[in-house]
Copies of this chain bind each other. A is one copy, B any other.
Amino acid sequence: MMETMTSTTPVPLAALAALLADGTRATFCLALLDGRAWSAGELARHAGVAASTASEHLSRLVGGGLLAEERQGRHRYVRLAGPEVARLVEDLAAHAGPGAAARPATLRAASAARALAGARTCYDHLAGRLGVAITDALTARGLLRQDAGFALSDEGLSWFAVELGAPLPGGGRRPLARPCLDWTERRHHLAGTAGAVLCATALERGWVGRIGSGRALNVTRAGHEALARLLGLTGLAADAAPLPVRALSGRAGGG
């Protein structure tokens, strides 16, 4: 014990944390929480740094295993390396930003924040009031048990297969259901494979649609009908008023 710490510290935890300890890199990761691939230039503009700076940051993030890159022609597309990384960023962000989420600087930012609070993706699942409402409905119907952990019930499993028509794959390394702390609601919503399947299904069938380039969503008429029929969900907050699309891609924190 107590071997004196040599020049560079080989503490893996610190090396990983250092990747997220820079404002620009953190901004990148939060933006990538929408689950999609961004080009290097998009991220540079989003964070307000020079292309060269962004390039170096991206190399470090990729090298550290947090990001996966995909090169296409003269573009470098980059996305979170996987659900575990998304979870890590989410958790860290959730712990960091209790009060910080609600600090609308400009009018446009405030509108964007309102849209995000209504419905959004959180990496590959649904979040915001919509995500929490769905999670609550699943729980109220006995499909999801939250009283002694966080797991789908047998009825829940068959609900996915029969009612939703999207059976859950078994046996993957990823947990079928796990709680993810919702930033704006400060409650848990459904994540894991089940959350991803639900979100993908909703997008495929046009129940929700992307607003602008960010991760904000709106619930379509078909979505309202489907959610009412499948989960008895009614009275979801109306979509945010039509907004200039560009207002919705601002960074506003994580999951």
Contacts and interface: CB of A to CB of B under 8 A. Distances in A.
Of A10, A26, A27, which is in contact with the most chain B CB atoms at under 10 Å from its CB? A26
Interface string A172-188: 00011111000000000
Nearest to A1: B250
Interface in A27-49: 27, 29-30, 45-49
A249 B177 contact: no
Quickly give the copy total for this chain.
2
A149 B148 contact: no
B151 A2 contact: no
Interface string A225-255: 0000000000000000000001101110110
Nearest to A106: B3
Contacts of A92: 13, 16-17, 88, 92
A107 interface: no
Interface in A88-111: 88-89, 91-93, 95-97, 100, 105
A154 B142 CA distance: 14
A30 B13 contact: yes
Q: Which of A18, A148, A170 has the most CB of B within 10 A?
A: A148
Contact of A14 (B26, B151, B179, B247): B26
Contacts of A177: 148-149
Given A5-B49, A91-B91, A12 B96 contact: yes
A201 interface: no
21 contacts: A2-B48, A5-B27, A9-B22, A10-B23, A11-B30, A13-B30, A13-B97, A14-B21, A14-B22, A14-B25, A15-B96, A16-B96, A17-B26, A17-B92, A20-B21, A145-B149, A147-B170, A147-B176, A149-B176, A149-B192, A150-B150
